[in-house]
């Protein structure tokens, strides 16, 4: 842990908190920015992947002979080309298995073979010539169905973890997790009002507009290069090397500009396939997924089935709360239910609370993280139940939340005791917001809900070089997914006391910088930001040392103020301040290059809370819901670049709106995904949404020098429940199944009348 | 695959009649290219008809409008007279896809794609539109509702293609309207839709009506009982109720990823009622 | 360090539900540890059932702050210590 | 199969390329002409990331054949700026932070240009429907709409 990270809460910032243009902006408005699919290489081949049409099938045989004979085909790989290098390490084996099916195809879209050819047309034709002999097996895609004793068992080596006695039969229930404290049964006995309800949510996709793409080049000597759109190129390097049995140092990975990720690009999907094709063909190979492949073979969330029970006394004090959460993780073991179970009641101060999570395996693509993964579904169930409880108690929904909100010193529902947190502040701001009291029309309703996310830090390394002319080259290892280079430049400039424009930030490749964890967990502004600040302080120490040399005084006698070295006091001597530029210009004669570094485990990310308010209009005759007005109130700790903080709030809300109303994975009886495209997987379009108002609260995180918390994820947590509550207030039906698509709302309305 | 861009309908007809294998007409391509990419069709020949000048025009002749097969839907709304006389048809055509799609897609393409959910088709059928078909032996005309015979299938013979859509001249006190239901505000395929064309008598009562429903059966349905339910009325609540019931009764929809049987059945009536009210108001203002 | 005496104070560690079955059904356990590294090492010895969980990756909350990989992190006297699953993010 | 020779005009420049008849204009722009500003987000006309202006009309270049470009005029994001002067839309997108990841930005810029070319002072609703064929997953569209409003205002003022 670094020492001097305690924030100076009274600090006045010079550039932090302003809204300068982003350094990568011009490239992105002129078409010059290079994303995953935009790279080419001399002699490049095009790779394509053959995928299973079956949800669950044993692969008896793969015959590639005919495809090999097609002119222009340069390499074909199947499971036989990918030996198991996992040494029994389950995580690595699962990545290998997910990249290319082994004994069985576990979901529709599971890769079974891949081709590299001189053109996309030849590669496509070659795929048609590969003959796969499948033995189709019974499948299961529904989370509740997969838990039944008679469900087809997908893996014969999974025995439910976390139950006593240990099961002797394999099942699709990978794990049971339990969190909480107090005595829930006794708590419920104390309650005057208890509300219990069951909910379902359908799977959604992150829906980044850029499909996965990479360009791999591996030489016969085993060294390789990979260009890839990812949230974590160091992770891609390590995992790909492990899967393929390569030495890590021989694989250099460069992160392209990334066209959205939201968690979906924190996993390895097909990069080892591109590397293996390139290795076999001894040519560069580019693999770009189609949108259909993205939907069928990457990143959806869990679909869930959740039971919630909450009890309170007449005065509105919640005494006991309980939830059982079943999350499917696709065809591989995940820990998605853990996160749902941990976050479900995190907004509240509860004496008796218990959550139980079940991680379930089904014949669907491997679940991936999606912005505060697993939290939105749990919040939907809990926050809907809270509103029902408020209705029964005759208390305003916001007042019930304010009364029971967690605060500093509250023992969280997942265990630890909270430090200073922002749930109370967001609720107070919501209560006083003009949106709360604006008039509503007929068939219109207002809803609100709260949300929580942990945020985290992780392994981080940055390097900051002072150039001859006093400008600064900053290297970070976390891909810039939404303007983070601007925030990094702001923090470096703030610390060094130089203008924002004098700092240029690049995302360094894996050979140029130490390891960095993935851009996830809302960690970049927190952890790369903190590493940048600390690297700047390291550079300042060296700059002061150089100034001391130039003055012939001791380094301890020099201080740094507003971009200048100054003698610490009258005893140090009388010297005019030396600017960073002047010290930089003299670097060659004072000891050579000046650089600051920092590498660490960035722990101490601050938990983050949000409250959302939404107005809807429901057409009683069609079940269509229109979002009329939307307000996000969230604690950012400290907003480094407020425009991009607002952008995170708005973007998360929009994704939540899509999830709430229309987005869902629809499976047929055959276990095949029916809507693998943007036509029928309906993410919100521009005309679906109103402006999204934002209120940034700043309750500083004591563990970051500027008080930063993560802001990226929390904003997707409240919308599902906020909209369900608004629909309930508009037309009097409690929707328990997400998405609240028009047929579901109309059915609920008809069922009531 | 061969690509040809003839400059006359005769040349196009010859190409389409004589080519072996699968040949397709390309106008906007917004359905054809999607089907090609999905591997659903592998054309041997594509005949691009956009270089045939006559097919690029909207002409107002003495009997009504002749809309060339290659006219993109965006051009329909740019024609003030067409918009005035056939607002329902233009609205329907302008609901297909995005602005990007509008710049390319055509009503004839929408018709020949033969989807029961095609937006322009219920409006055209309600409007009593006809098509002029070019074959090897000359031209023939047919009612729009005769073209699709099932999802993805048309009654056109090998070598035949539609040259133009014919809309008659608007009578006094008549108007049309089209509504569809989609879950989002744009970019979706109709879950259910309704086109209504009304003609009022001098007293302002409905003298003639045509009601067509989309996405409730394998092909767009012209519902005569629905029309009968409002003829003679001034769309009083009772008549509207009868219209909606007749529409719902005529539905034979399926459950699919876009909607349920119950939803389509109920909402078909709702949309027909709402569209009738719009058409009624428009007709009354003429 | 083999055979070295524990340097730390006794630390009371709260386990999340799924770990309890691996720790003889206890929801809290006590071990002597001054750092997370020592904590994991002693827990693994005293409760071998916890070893696979530790190997797979466990987060530790010390006085409300969650640590994922910082095994050298010291554990202050009387600290509130929770073991938590490693959190994924998006 | 022999390729087809196509002569076309892109951003005012007369250019030639050879392609297979089934190749899309998007593929030709990206792979044959090296203009990778237009992006493929879906390949089915549902996301608008590949939007270009073809003879004055906004189209998805993934739903146009490369051979159709013969003797026609294409405008892409690469031609939006005038030398080193950004187009007001480009500038306003930057000023309003109307992009996060930036993958949809070229398509939005072309759609917004086509919108303002036809309707110089659109209402918020007209902007929202005018841009409904372009998906953005990052921003929630708020800042994009504001950027277009602001650019329209500036263009009107000129």
ipTM, 2 dp: 0.97
Q: Are chains C and D touching, using the cut-off of 8 Å on CB pairs and a minimum of 3 such pairs?
A: no
Residue D149, beta-bridge partner list: none
Does C66 reach chain A within 8 Å, measured CB to CB? yes
User: Mind listing the pLDDT tens digit for each residue in D97-117?
Assistant: 999 999 999 999 999 999 999
A291 and D41 within 8 Å at the Cβ level: the answer is yes
A369 and C17 within 8 Å at the Cβ level: the answer is no
Does C21 reach chain A within 8 Å, measured CB to CB? yes
Does B202 reach chain A within 8 Å, measured CB to CB? no
Chain A residues with CB inside 8 Å of C64's CB? 416-419
Residue C52 confidence (pLDDT): 87
d(CA A254, CA A241): 14
> Number of residue pairs across A and D with CB atoms under 8 Å?
178
Name residue, tokens 């029994």. A88
Q: Are chains C and A touching, using the cut-off of 8 Å on CB pairs and a minimum of 3 such pairs?
A: yes
A746 and B188 within 8 Å at the Cβ level: the answer is no
Residue A249: count other Cβ atoms within 10 Å of its Cβ: 11
B100 and D129 within 8 Å at the Cβ level: the answer is no
Say yes or no to pLDDT of D1 above 60.
no
Nearest to B223 by CA among B283, B171, B145, B284: B145
B187 and D132 within 8 Å at the Cβ level: the answer is yes
> What is the C-alpha end-to-end distance of chain A, expressed in Å?
61
The CA distance from A651 to the nearest CA of chain B, in Å, is: 18
Instruction: Work out the average pLDDT over A198-205.
Output: 98
pTM > 0.90: yes or no: yes
Does B36 reach chain A within 8 Å, measured CB to CB? no
- Close Cβ partners of A748 (under 8 Å, ≥ 6 residues apart): A623, A733, A734, A735
- Lowest-confidence segment of A594-608, A624-638, B223-237 by average pLDDT: A594-608
D64 and B33 within 8 Å at the Cβ level: the answer is yes
Residue C1 confidence (pLDDT): 42
Does A515 reach chain D within 8 Å, measured CB to CB? no
Chains in touch with A (3+ beta-carbon pairs under 8 Å) read B, C, D
Does B257 reach chain A within 8 Å, measured CB to CB? yes
Instruction: Work out the average pLDDT over B33-61.
Output: 96
H or E element that contains A600: strand A594-602
Q: How confident is the model at residue A753 (pLDDT cuts 50, 70, 90)?
A: low
Residue B20's alpha-carbon distances to A607, B134, B155, B157, D57, in angstroms, are: 67, 19, 20, 14, 34
Name residue, tokens 């691996």. C22
Residue B132, beta-bridge partner list: B141, B164
d(CA A58, CA A61): 9
- Close Cβ partners of A216 (under 8 Å, ≥ 6 residues apart): A224, A225, A226, A227, A271, A274, A275, A277, A278, A284, A285, A286, A287
Which of B183, B256, B260 lies at the smallest CB-CB distance from A682?
B183
Q: How confident is the model at residue A509 (pLDDT cuts 50, 70, 90)?
A: very high
Torsion-angle region of A105 (φ positive above 0: left; ψ -120 to 50: alpha; else: beta):
beta
User: Mind listing the pLDDT tens digit for each residue in A132-190?
Assistant: 999 999 999 999 999 999 999 999 999 999 888 889 999 999 999 999 999 999 999 99
A624 and B181 within 8 Å at the Cβ level: the answer is yes
A25 and D94 within 8 Å at the Cβ level: the answer is yes
The CA distance from A370 to the nearest CA of chain C, in Å, is: 5
Does B106 reach chain D within 8 Å, measured CB to CB? no
**Interstrand relation of A251-255 and A224-228 (parallel, antiparallel or unpaired):** parallel
Does A206 reach chain C within 8 Å, measured CB to CB? yes
Tell me, letter by letter, the H, E, C secondary structure of A580-599.
Answer: HHHHHHCHHHHCCCEEEEEE
Chains in touch with D (3+ beta-carbon pairs under 8 Å) read A, B
Name the A residues in 652-681 with CB < 8 Å from any B CB.
661-662, 666, 674-675, 679-680
D41 and A26 within 8 Å at the Cβ level: the answer is no
Tokens of A543: 């700059």
User: Mind listing the pLDDT tens digit for each residue in A333-392?
Assistant: 999 999 999 999 999 999 999 999 999 999 999 999 999 999 999 999 999 999 999 999
Nearest to A643 by CA among A18, A162, A2, A47: A18
Residue D6, beta-bridge partner list: D17
The CA distance from A666 to the nearest CA of chain B, in Å, is: 7
Q: How confident is the model at residue B163 (pLDDT cuts 50, 70, 90)?
A: very high
Instruction: Work out the average pLDDT over D90-103.
Output: 98
Does D138 reach chain B within 8 Å, measured CB to CB? no
Does B37 reach chain D within 8 Å, measured CB to CB? yes
Q: How confident is the model at residue B60 (pLDDT cuts 50, 70, 90)?
A: very high
> For testing the chain B interface, which of A742, A747, A749 should be mutated: the one with the most B CBs within 10 Å?
A742
User: Mind listing the pLDDT tens digit for each residue in A718-730?
Assistant: 999 999 999 999 9
User: Mind listing the pLDDT tens digit for each residue in D23-67?
Assistant: 999 999 999 999 999 999 999 999 999 999 999 999 999 999 999
D45 and B186 within 8 Å at the Cβ level: the answer is no
Does A596 reach chain C within 8 Å, measured CB to CB? no
Instruction: Work out the average pLDDT over A243-249.
Output: 96
Residue C65 confidence (pLDDT): 87
Does B263 reach chain A within 8 Å, measured CB to CB? yes
Helical axes B237-250 vs B261-284, angle rounded to 10°: 140
Angle among Cα B221, B226, B232 to the nearest 5 degrees reads: 145
Residue A3 confidence (pLDDT): 42
Chain D residues with CB inside 8 Å of B186's CB? 129, 132-133
> Number of residue pairs across A and C with CB atoms under 8 Å?
112
> For testing the chain A interface, which of B39, B101, B253, B263 should be mutated: the one with the most A CBs within 10 Å?
B263
Nearest to B182 by CA among B192, B194, B171: B192
Tokens of B252: 């034979």
The CA distance from D26 to the nearest CA of chain B, in Å, is: 12
A685 and B184 within 8 Å at the Cβ level: the answer is yes
pLDDT mean across residues, chain A: 96
Residue C86 confidence (pLDDT): 86
**What percent of chain A stands above pLDDT 90?**
95
B101 and D60 within 8 Å at the Cβ level: the answer is yes
Alpha helices in A483-622 (DSSP H): 484-496, 529-551, 580-585, 587-590
User: Mind listing the pLDDT tens digit for each residue in A435-464?
Assistant: 999 999 999 999 999 999 999 899 999 999
Does A744 reach chain B within 8 Å, measured CB to CB? no
Residue A4 confidence (pLDDT): 53
- Close Cβ partners of B61 (under 8 Å, ≥ 6 residues apart): none
Which of D22, D24, D63 lies at the smallest CB-CB distance from B1?
D22
C82 and A416 within 8 Å at the Cβ level: the answer is yes
B183 and A662 within 8 Å at the Cβ level: the answer is yes
Chain A residues with CB inside 8 Å of B258's CB? 680
From first to last of its 90 residues, what are the pLDDT tens digits of chain C? 444 455 678 999 999 888 888 888 888 999 999 999 999 999 999 999 899 889 888 999 999 888 888 899 999 999 999 999 888 888
Nearest to C47 by CA among C30, C34, C59, C60: C30
Tell me, letter by letter, the H, E, C secondary structure of C30-60.
Answer: EEECCEHHHHHHHHHHHCHHHHHHHHHCEEE
Does C37 reach chain A within 8 Å, measured CB to CB? no
Q: How many CA within 13 A on the CB side of residue A324?
A: 6
Query: Which phi and psi angles does B234 have, rounded to 5°?
Result: -110, 35
Instruction: Work out the average pLDDT over A500-522.
Output: 96
Instruction: Work out the average pLDDT over B6-34.
Output: 95
User: Mind listing the pLDDT tens digit for each residue in A546-568?
Assistant: 999 999 999 999 999 999 999 99
Instruction: Work out the average pLDDT over A654-658.
Output: 98
Chain D residues with CB inside 8 Å of B36's CB? 22
């Amino acid at each position: 842990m670094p020492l001097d990270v305690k924030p100076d809460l009274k600090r006045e910032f010079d550039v932090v908190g302003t809204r300068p243009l982003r350094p990568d902006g011009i490239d992105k408005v002129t078409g010059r920015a290079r994303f995953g699919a935009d790279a080419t290489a001399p002699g490049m081949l095009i790779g394509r992947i053959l995928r299973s049409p079956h949800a669950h099938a044993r692969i008896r045989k793969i015959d590639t002979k005919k495809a090999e004979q097609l002119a222009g085909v340069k390499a074909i790989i199947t499971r036989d080309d990918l030996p198991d290098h996992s040494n029994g390490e389950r995580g690595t084996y699962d990545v290998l298995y997910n990249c290319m099916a082994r004994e069985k195809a576990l979901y529709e879209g599971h890769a079974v073979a891949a081709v590299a050819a001189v053109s996309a047309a030849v590669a496509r034709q070659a795929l048609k010539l590969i003959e796969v002999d499948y033995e189709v097996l019974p499948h299961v895609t529904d989370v509740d169905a997969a838990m039944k004793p008679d469900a087809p068992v997908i893996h014969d080596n999974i025995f439910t973890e976390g139950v006593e006695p240990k099961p002797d039969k394999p099942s699709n229930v990978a794990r049971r997790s339990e969190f909480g404290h107090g005595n829930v049964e006794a708590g419920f006995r104390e309650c005057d009002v208890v509300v219990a309800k069951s909910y379902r949510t359908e799977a959604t996709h992150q829906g980044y507009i850029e499909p996965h793409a990479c360009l791999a080049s591996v030489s016969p000597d085993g060294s390789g290069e990979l260009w890839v759109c990812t949230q974590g190129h160091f992770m891609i390097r390590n995992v790909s090397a492990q899967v393929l049995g390569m030495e890590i140092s021989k694989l250099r990975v460069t992160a392209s500009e990334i066209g959205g990720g939201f968690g979906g690009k924190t996993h390895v999907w097909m990069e080892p396939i591109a590397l293996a094709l390139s290795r076999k063909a001894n040519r560069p190979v580019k693999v770009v997924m189609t949108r259909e492949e993205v939907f069928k073979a990457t990143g959806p969330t869990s679909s869930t089935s959740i039971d919630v029970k909450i009890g309170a006394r007449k005065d509105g004090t919640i005494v006991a709360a309980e939830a059982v959460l079943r999350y499917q993780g696709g065809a591989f073991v995940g820990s998605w239910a853990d996160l749902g179970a941990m976050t479900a009641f995190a907004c509240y101060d509860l004496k008796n609370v218990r959550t139980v999570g079940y991680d379930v395996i089904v014949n669907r693509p491997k679940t991936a993280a999606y912005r505060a993964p697993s939290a939105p579904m749990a919040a939907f169930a809990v926050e809907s139940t809270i509103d029902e409880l408020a209705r029964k108690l005759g208390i305003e929904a916001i007042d019930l939340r304010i009364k029971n909100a967690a605060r500093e010193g509250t023992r969280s529902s997942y265990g630890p005791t909270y430090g200073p947190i922002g749930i109370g502040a967001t609720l107070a701001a919501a209560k006083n917001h003009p949106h709360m009291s604006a008039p509503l029309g007929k068939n219109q309703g207002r809803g609100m809900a709260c949300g929580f996310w942990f945020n985290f830090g992780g392994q981080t390394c940055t390097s900051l070089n002072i150039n001859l002319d006093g400008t600064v080259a900053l290297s970070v290892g976390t891909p810039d997914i939404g303007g983070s280079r601007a925030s990094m430049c702001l923090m470096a400039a703030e610390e060094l006391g130089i203008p924002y424009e004098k700092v240029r930030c690049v995302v360094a490749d894996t050979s140029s910088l130490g390891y960095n964890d993935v851009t996830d967990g809302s960690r970049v502004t927190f952890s790369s930001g903190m590493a940048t600040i600390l690297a700047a302080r390291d550079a300042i120490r060296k700059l002061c040392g150089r100034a001391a040399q130039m003055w012939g005084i001791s380094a301890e006698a020099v201080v740094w103020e507003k971009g200048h070295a100054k003698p610490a006091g009258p005893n140090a001597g009388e010297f005019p301040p030396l600017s960073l530029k002047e010290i930089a210009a003299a670097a060659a004669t004072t000891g050579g290059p000046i650089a600051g570094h920092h590498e660490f485990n960035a722990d101490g990310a601050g938990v983050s809370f949000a409250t959302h308010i939404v107005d809807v209009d429901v057409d009683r005759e069609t079940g269509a819901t229109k979002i009329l007005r939307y307000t996000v109130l969230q604690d950012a700790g400290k907003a480094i670049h407020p425009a991009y903080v607002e952008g995170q709030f708005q973007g998360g809300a929009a994704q939540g709106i899509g999830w709430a109303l229309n987005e869902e994975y629809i499976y047929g009886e055959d276990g095949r995904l029916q809507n693998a495209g943007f036509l029928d997987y309906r993410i919100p379009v521009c005309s679906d949404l109103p402006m999204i108002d934002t209120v940034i609260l700043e309750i500083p995180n004591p563990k970051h020098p500027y008080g930063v918390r993560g802001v990226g994820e929390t904003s997707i947590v409240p919308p599902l429940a906020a909209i369900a509550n608004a629909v309930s207030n508009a037309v009097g039906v409690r929707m328990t199944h997400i998405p609240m698509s028009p047929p579901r709302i109309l059915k609920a309305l008809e069922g009531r009348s | 695959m061969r690509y040809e861009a003839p400059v006359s309908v005769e040349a196009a007809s010859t190409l389409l009649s004589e080519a072996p294998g699968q040949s397709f007409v390309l106008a906007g391509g917004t359905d054809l290219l999607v089907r090609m990419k999905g591997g659903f069709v592998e054309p041997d020949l594509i005949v691009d008809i956009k270089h045939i000048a006559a097919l690029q025009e909207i002409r107002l002749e003495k009997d009504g409008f002749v809309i060339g097969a290659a006219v993109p839907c965006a051009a329909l709304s740019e024609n003030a007279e067409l918009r005035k006389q056939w607002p329902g048809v233009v609205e329907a055509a302008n609901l297909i896809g995005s602005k990007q799609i509008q710049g390319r897609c055509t009503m004839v393409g929408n018709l020949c794609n033969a989807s029961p959910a095609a937006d322009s088709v219920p409006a055209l059928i309600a409007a009593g539109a006809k098509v002029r078909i070019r074959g090897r032996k000359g031209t023939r005309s047919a009612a729009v509702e005769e073209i699709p015979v099932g999802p993805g299938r048309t009654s056109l013979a090998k070598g035949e293609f539609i040259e133009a859509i014919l809309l008659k001249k608007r009578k006094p006190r008549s108007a049309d309207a089209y509504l569809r239901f989609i879950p989002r505000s744009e970019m979706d395929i109709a879950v259910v839709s309704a086109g209504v064309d009304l003609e009022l008598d001098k007293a302002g009562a409905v003298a003639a009506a045509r009601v067509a429903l989309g996405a409730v059966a394998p092909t767009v349905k012209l519902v005569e009982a629905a029309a009968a339910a409002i003829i003679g009325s001034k769309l009083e609540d009772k008549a509207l109720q009868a219209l909606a019931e007749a529409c719902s009764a005529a539905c034979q929809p399926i459950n699919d990823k876009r909607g349920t049987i119950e939803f389509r059945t109920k909402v078909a009536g709702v949309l027909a009622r709402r569209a009738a009210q719009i058409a009624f108001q428009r007709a009354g203002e003429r | 360090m083999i055979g070295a005496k524990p340097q730390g104070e006794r630390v009371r560690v709260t386990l999340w539900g799924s770990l309890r079955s691996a720790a003889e059904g206890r929801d809290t356990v006590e071990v002597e540890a001054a750092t997370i590294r020592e904590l994991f090492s002693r827990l693994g010895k005293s409760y071998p059932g916890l070893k696979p969980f530790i190997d797979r990756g466990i987060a530790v909350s010390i006085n409300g702050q969650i640590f994922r990989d910082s095994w050298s992190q010291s554990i202050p006297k009387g600290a509130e210590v929770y073991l938590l699953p490693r959190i994924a993010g998006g | 199969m022999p390729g087809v020779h196509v002569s076309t005009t892109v951003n005012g420049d007369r250019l030639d390329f050879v392609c297979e008849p089934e190749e899309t204009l998007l593929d030709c722009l990206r792979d044959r002409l090296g203009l990778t500003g237009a992006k493929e987000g879906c390949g089915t006309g549902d996301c608008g990331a590949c939007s270009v202006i073809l003879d004055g009309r906004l189209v998805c270049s993934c739903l146009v054949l490369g051979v159709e470009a013969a003797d026609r005029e294409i405008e892409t994001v690469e031609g939006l700026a005038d030398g080193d002067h950004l187009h007001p839309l480009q500038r306003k997108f930057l000023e309003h932070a109307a992009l996060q990841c930036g993958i949809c930005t070229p398509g939005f810029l072309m759609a917004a240009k086509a919108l303002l070319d036809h309707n110089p002072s659109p209402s918020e609703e007209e902007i929202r429907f005018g841009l409904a064929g372009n998906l953005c997953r990052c921003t929630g569209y708020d800042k994009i709409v504001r950027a277009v409003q602001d650019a329209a205002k500036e263009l009107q003022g000129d």
